[in-house]
Structure 1
């Protein structure tokens, strides 16, 4: 029960977040041995959230590093309602949807390489969804003669954010690694828009921690023109006997004018779509 001491101290206070601290230092003081941080503070699904945090209705977030301190920092956050406030839960988002067959209007040649891959990854799923036209269709972007090619990568970023919409409490993510599954530009409603996609692939519904989408948004926001909207997208793909089901959840657009209203718990989809791509 790694987090019990910090849970108890946070519950005894009026704060909604615990003071950021080194996980290695904390685990050594709490358990008598320093643990590796990533399995415990880098949580990407509900299944990986420790039982004591679920019971306490809390979430743990990794917060990068700090000068003159070793290891990754973390903080606990009290949920307003439930720990699920901090996750996209597939059953709630997609269970009522029946995937509609999507027939690509691109050449067989452009999609043939995807049929050769023995194993589908998150990166290849995003590329397939774009190359086939499935994702642009779902997101309502204008058709273009040029191919939509997503950028992907990882780097270290620093930013501040509010974990809860009902509080002004902020957390600093400092010089921490952020992975970006895919980002691409397309025109929608006659305006150039930036789409940030977090993709997960598997054989069944699961969940996704919201910070996996929030962190890329906040990492890229300072570099994006104020007039360009950012559309956060969660893409869940599931392999079936006949192909791949794509479940797409789109969150409201963000830009520099309304970024102050963006909080971890308020990052919620307002549109969902489901399509089936056969023979992949």
Structure 2
């Protein structure tokens, strides 16, 4: 797919929003192949995946759900010299963290199913973090011996957000599919909180697009009672020479039930890194 027609229209304007516009309509209007699959081009999970033509002009693409035209709609956001504001950068977040060894304090029978697979999927590695008690420890939950059970799935919500604090426009995501990696309710400091998890496995990328976590939070927020805080968590799992490293970043976010959230405003407030030694590793 070629973004050049839109890039030329944007020019040097910054901050600037182009769109939203239906993906298929854009292809047709610019003489491109309309049979192209939408997610491949406008679903960007990390900075490394962003189209080079967009990246070179400090432009981010966001998928915005259903359109009145043909197919999914998208927008382009230009923030000159500040495109990194829209991503979590692993080197900045976890760079100084020295992983502490983690030995699960669980019966072998509770974790045995995880060792039946030669290699665990992203979902199973997340489930292991729950079952082993690692996640409870990393998030300082009140009952570290009891493993919360996460729910996961996809929903098609409508919600609003601001792409950057320098842009006053509010964008509306309309009934687009949002995949939630994990959500669970647990007590911390004597009060219940809802934790929303976005997980990535492997070292092929060292970034995470902030909207991946924000979309999950906004998709769920209207169904969460006002007295329960919503706590986003970014989990990165990497293989090291001497074990498996689980890195957690808890994200600071205003209450989306009370105000419109800007993508650049969500930032890590605490991090933890733990290493599962090789003899216990799941890879």
Structure 1 residues 5, 81: CA separation in 2 closer, same or farther (over 3 Å shift)?
Answer: same
Q: Does 1:263 align with 2:262?
A: yes
Change in CA separation of 1:48 and 1:233 when aligned onto 2, cut-off 3 Å:
same
Shift of 1:167: 2.6
Give the equivalent residue in structure 2 for 1:61: 62
- Displacement after TM superposition at 1:188 (Å): 1.0
Q: TM-score, normalised by structure 1?
A: 0.93
| Residues 19-34 of structure 1: pairs in structure 2 closer than 5 A | 19-34=19-34
Aligned to 1:162: 162
Alpha-carbon deviation of 1:276? 0.6
Question: What CA deviation, in whole Å up to 9, does each residue of 1:184-231 have, x standing for no partner?
Answer: 111112110000000000146521111110101000000001111111
How big is the shift at 1:8?
Answer: 2.3
Q: 1:24 to 1:167 in 2, by over 3 A?
A: same
1:84 corresponds in structure 2 to 84
Instruction: Give deviations 1:38-83, integer Å, cap 9, x for gaps.
Output: 111000011110111111111000011124x221110001125422
- Residue 274 (structure 1) aligned with residue 278 (structure 2): no
Evaluate the alpha carbon distance shift between residue 145 and residue 101 of structure 1 in structure 2; reply closer, same or farther with a 3 A threshold: closer
Shift, 1:164, TM fit: 0.8
Residue 170 of structure 1 and its aligned partner are, at CA, apart by: 1.1
Runs of 4+ in 1 over 4 A off after TM superposition: 12-15
- Deviation string 1:83-121 (CA, Å, 9 cap, x unpaired) is 211111112211222211012222221111112222222
How far the C-alpha of 1:254 sits from its partner, in A, is 4.2
Question: What secondary structure sits across from 1:6 in the alignment?
Answer: helix
Counterpart-to-counterpart distance in 2, 1:271 and 1:242: 25
- The equivalent of 2:39 in structure 1 is 38
For the aligned residue pairs, the C-alpha RMSD in angstroms reads 1.9
Q: How many residues align?
A: 278
CA distance in 2 between partners of 1:82 and 1:157 (Å): 28
Paired with 1:214 and 1:195, the residues of 2 have a C-alpha distance of 12
Equivalent-residue separation in structure 1 for 2:205 and 2:73 (angstroms): 30
**Whole-Å Cα distance in 1 between the matches of residues 93 and 208 of structure 2?**
11
Q: CA deviation at 1:31?
A: 3.8
Q: Which runs of 5+ in 1 are unaligned?
A: none
Cα distance change, pair 43–204 in 1 and its aligned pair in 2 (3 A): closer
Sort the Cα spacing of 1:248 and 1:14 in 2 relative to 1 into closer, same or farther, 3 A. Answer: closer
Where does residue 186 of structure 1 map in the other structure? 186
Does the aligned pair in 2 maintain the 1:152–1:182 contact within 8 Å?
yes
3-state DSSP of counterpart to 2:54: helix
Quote the Cα distance in structure 2 between the aligned partners of 1:17 and 1:266. Answer: 18
Distance across 2 between alignment mates of 1:251 and 1:161: 17
Quote how far apart the aligned CAs of 1:165 are.
1.6
Q: Which residue of 1 aligns with 2:124?
A: 124
CA contact (8 A) 1:154 1:178 kept: yes
- 212-221 or 116-125: which moved more? 116-125
Unpaired runs of 5+ residues, structure 2, are none
Give the TM-score, by structure 2 length. Answer: 0.92
Residue 10 (structure 1) shift? 2.3
Q: How does 1:232-243 map to 2 (within 5 A)?
A: 232-243=232-243
